[in-house]
Amino acid sequence: MEPLNLHQNGSRIELLDVQQVQEVAEKIKMQFQTIDSVEEISITEAVGRVLAHDMVSKEDVPGFHRSTVDGYAVKARNTYGSTESMPTFFHITGSVKMGKDVNQTIQEGQAMYVPTGGMLPEGADAVVMIEDVEVVGDLLNVFEQVAPRENVIFKGEDVYDGEVVLKKGHRLRPQDLGGLAAIGVTKVPVYTKLKVGLLSTGDEIVPPETEELLPGQIRDINGISIAAAVQALGGQIIYGGIVKDQFDQYLSKSQELFQQVDFLILSGGSSMGTKDYTSQVMNQLGSPGVFVHGISIKPGKPTIIANCNGKPVMGLPGHPVSAMVLFELFGRQIMNQLHQVNENPFAKQLRARISRNIASQVGRTDYVRVQLEIRDHELWANPVFGKSGLITNLVKSDGMIEISQYKEGITAGEWVNVILFS
């Protein structure tokens, strides 16, 4: 649907053609092609980047049966029936050195000392912890029975030869890089960083370095917070600075930035005021142009999303809280989509009880910032109230909760999903 952009006697009527959150998400899904350019980088630099191929192990990890405790490697069945009062006797035939192939075999009734992480001798299938034995010369009293595989990580138990360890589209976390190191992969194919352009608009907006603000001036918050959010998702930010609410300047700066990036974000000027030019600028950047102008959401209603010659362009509301919430919801979706990222949304959510009643309007999805707290052994979410112009509202929050368009509000004590801020 085309956005309403009505002119009457030279002034525009404030009217947004709002769409539901779910509708917007669905529309975004149908719009943009993936960007497939790939580079190979070291795992030491790969945190936050998106894997471009499945990673398959070429070996077993561990490559040998490995003890998880300090103790004595034995045949499990030889320990059966061992108790504190009726220990079983073993002959100690030696000890295993870390990082060395023992090249020895355990026979019935024999035991060999093995440190944590050490290699089990041939014939052993379990390890008795040193807490459960007594050493008398080269004899061993075992006071506990162990089952086969007890206290042992078997060859290939962590990763087997040929196993897919990580899938294409996975955003690499520290533990994933550890997993790659374990299988000897030190270079990974990742998608080249998404280039994301960011432009702040507003006559009142000045660089954050401005020491003395003149009356009416505001430091550029979104130029910093949205840039950081993009970087946290593995994107490369190209910041275009601040432009005035002046159509020609806004358009030419946007066009210049648009050429250099995979995704363009414009902050401010997204409503229907006389000096709000974002939707017009976006429609000039390419076609088909704007497909979302106005979302039935609080905060962040005046949000714009366009497809300009296949490239996504997003117009975020200037209010810093709205801008961050809307980036988190849809900017993230767009970035993930461009790289086919497989993200488990629940990995960023947890359940908590809301501490206060919150009213909400049916037909609109609300996102309420919350601070988490443990009380009486339960996790509680305390709403952080405040207008969307207050950046500290976000600074004080750990995450946000969604109140669906179908609900009139939530009641104190209700369980809610908290979407954690990263």
Q: Which residues bind ligand AMP (CB under 6 A)?
A: 200, 202, 204-205, 218, 220-223, 267-271, 317-320, 389
Q: Which is nearest to 368 in space by CA: 334, 321, 316?
A: 321
Q: Which option in Mg ion, ligand AMP, none does residue 331 bind, with CB closer than 5 to 8 A by kind?
A: none
Q: Does 223 bind Mg ion (CB under 5 A)?
A: no
Q: Which option in ligand AMP, Mg ion, none does residue 299 bind, with CB closer than 5 to 8 A by kind?
A: none
Q: Which is nearer to Mg ion, 121 or 302 (CB)?
A: 302
Q: Does 179 bind Mg ion (CB under 5 A)?
A: no
Give min distance, CB of 223 to ligand AMP, in A: 6
Per-position b or e across 92-128, b if 16+ CB within 10 A of its CB = bbeebeeeeebeeebeeebbbbbeeebbbbeebbbbb
Considering only the stretches 18-26, 192-200, 266-274, 351-359, report the one whose residues sit in contact with Mg ion under the rule CB under 5 A: 266-274
Q: Which option in ligand AMP, Mg ion, none does residue 220 bind, with CB closer than 5 to 8 A by kind?
A: ligand AMP
Query: What are the residue ranges of helices labelled H in 297-363?
Result: 320-326, 332-338
Q: Which option in Mg ion, ligand AMP, none does residue 200 bind, with CB closer than 5 to 8 A by kind?
A: ligand AMP
Could you say which DSSP state residue 328 is in?
I
In 60-123, DSSP assigns E strands to 66-67, 71-74, 88-95, 110-114
365: CB partners within 8 A, 6+ apart: 20, 21, 296, 297, 298, 402, 403, 404, 405
Give min distance, CB of 203 to Mg ion, in A: 7
Helices (H), strands (E): how many in the chain? 8, 30
Q: Which is nearer to ligand AMP, 12 or 149 (CB)?
A: 12
Among 121, 268, 294, 312, which residue sits at the site for Mg ion (rule: CB under 5 A)?
A: 268
Cβ 233 vs Cβ 332: under 8 Å: yes
SS3 state of residue 348: helix
Could you say which DSSP state residue 78 is in?
G
Give min distance, CB of 295 to Mg ion, in A: 18
Q: Which is nearer to ligand AMP, 146 or 305 (CB)?
A: 305
Among 3, 169, 179, 202, which residue sits at the site for Mg ion (rule: CB under 5 A)?
A: 202
Interface residues with Mg ion (CB under 5 A)? 202, 268-269
